[in-house]
Amino acid sequence: MKHGRYSIGEISKLCCISVSRLRYYDEQGVIKPCCIDSESGYRYYDNETLLLISVLKCYQTYGFTLREITKLLERLDLEHLEPMFDQQIEALDRQIRNL
């Protein structure tokens, strides 16, 4: 850890997520590094990113798509989250009935 920031490798280990997956999330605009070193090109992440990755992984276990997760992470207020979770619950209920 350097100046309260984590390298992509450190974040990968802490969050049990591959470096390539973190790069993919960056390319897709889902989880962005807090800064990129202009000389080395290394990505650095902060404590907020640790939280966001944990939330992202939780949403994935609930069956949300990456596109949906991106929208969920944009606004973390209950007014925005509740309808999306209601829709997901309905979709999962339909899936259970079909099985």
Contact 11/56 with Cβ under 8 angstroms?
A: no
Task: Outline where 16-77 has alpha helix (H).
Answer: 19-28, 47-61, 66-74
Distance of alpha carbon 71 from alpha carbon 65, whole angstroms: 10
Average pLDDT over residues 12-39: 92
Q: How much is the pLDDT for 15?
A: 92
- pTM equals 0.73
